[in-house]
Amino acid sequence: MNKTLLITHVDLDGVSPIILLNLTGIKFEYKNVEITDLDETLHTLIDSEDIKKYEQIYITDLTVPEWAYEYFKDNNINVKVFDHHEVHLYGNNYPFATVKVNLGNHQTCGTELFFEYLKEIYPHINTKKVKQYVDYVTELDTWHFTSDIPKELDSLKNTYGTKDFIKSITRRLKSKKETFEFTPFEKKFTKLKKAEIQRYMEAKEEKMLLYEINGKKCGVLFAERNKSELGNYISVNHPELDLVLMLDASSRISYRTNRDDVNVSEFATIYGGGGHQKASGSKFDDEDRNKIILEYFKGAKRLEKEEEN
């Protein structure tokens, strides 16, 4: 068994630490975990005692629950945590956690914090090209852009799928080229994708609903993809809104704002979520979906699934 385990999120900021560890040359295993599934993942590792098989465990871009921190401390588990979510600042009470919202004069992300740690141990990964890639990931996750490349990277990840994206970017960062570049095909593809996303956002904007929720003027949309771009697009086009809510019944609710006087993390906390001041989320679980079905289809009764023989 590999002696190192990485537990990380599923978005670009979660996938990129896998790429960084690939560059170090060490052997490791990894698990991509949704925020709402982290508790179960950690409980499974602990209950099975598999967690004790690893000499080193990294957790990136995920908010570790306090009960897990106490377990790590009491059982001398060699774990290091790197995260940037404001609701996770309590993690800094433990010496093995690095939780920072800002790094220097800019907002940071899990990938950048992990890179700052790794480059001290594996100096060969600290190249211009790798730093360039890390900066792109940081720009996407904090939504502060100097170019369209971060959005295009995210689009490629969603198109390639996680495993193929990891292989492609790892190979590119290991190549002899000094700078990070897209292939001619990728350049053409991302241009077409950009036009498609623009049409998608305009269509969603037309169907936006307005509600007052907890004293906030909210634009509410049903959205399945491109939520960060959509939320930013609506916020810019509708400065009269306090925040934008995007509901995806298959996964979660996303909250966005462009206003400095609104903290969507505080708003999301009311509904069991959290995140950043301008970008947060909360879960949309089976109980929530069941309530919607029962409310819409009056008289519906929930049935249990039949077990397969």
Helical ranges in 109-148 per DSSP H? 110-121, 128-142
Residue 195 and residue 151 in contact, taking contact as beta carbons nearer than 8 Å: no
Instruction: Measure CA 112 to chain center.
Output: 13
CA distance 77 to 200: 46
Half-sphere exposure of 266 (CA within 13 A, CB side): 7
Pick the CATH number of 202-294 from 3.40.190, 3.40.50, 3.10.310, 3.90.25: 3.10.310
Residue in 112, 220, 198 with CA at minimum distance from that of residue 151: 198
Half-sphere exposure of 132 (CA within 13 A, CB side): 15
pLDDT at 272: 81
pLDDT at 277: 80
pLDDT at 269: 86
Every domain of the chain and the residues it spans: 4-182, 202-294
Residue 205 and residue 234 in contact, taking contact as beta carbons nearer than 8 Å: yes
Residue in 277, 280, 15 with CA at minimum distance from that of residue 137: 15
Q: What's domain 4-182's architecture?
A: Alpha-Beta Complex (3.90)
Scanning the structure block, which residue is given the tokens 């916020």? Answer: 235
What tens-digit pLDDT sequence spans the chain (309 residues)? 569 999 999 999 999 999 999 999 999 999 999 888 899 999 999 999 999 899 999 999 999 999 999 999 999 999 999 999 988 999 999 999 999 999 999 999 999 999 999 999 999 999 999 999 999 999 999 888 899 999 999 989 988 999 999 999 999 999 988 899 899 999 999 999 889 999 999 999 999 989 998 889 999 998 888 888 899 899 999 999 999 999 887 778 888 888 888 888 888 888 888 777 888 888 777 777 778 778 877 877 766 756 554
Task: Tell me if domain 4-182 and domain 202-294 are identical in fold.
Answer: no
Q: Give the DSSP H/E element, type plus range, for residue 71.
A: helix 66-74
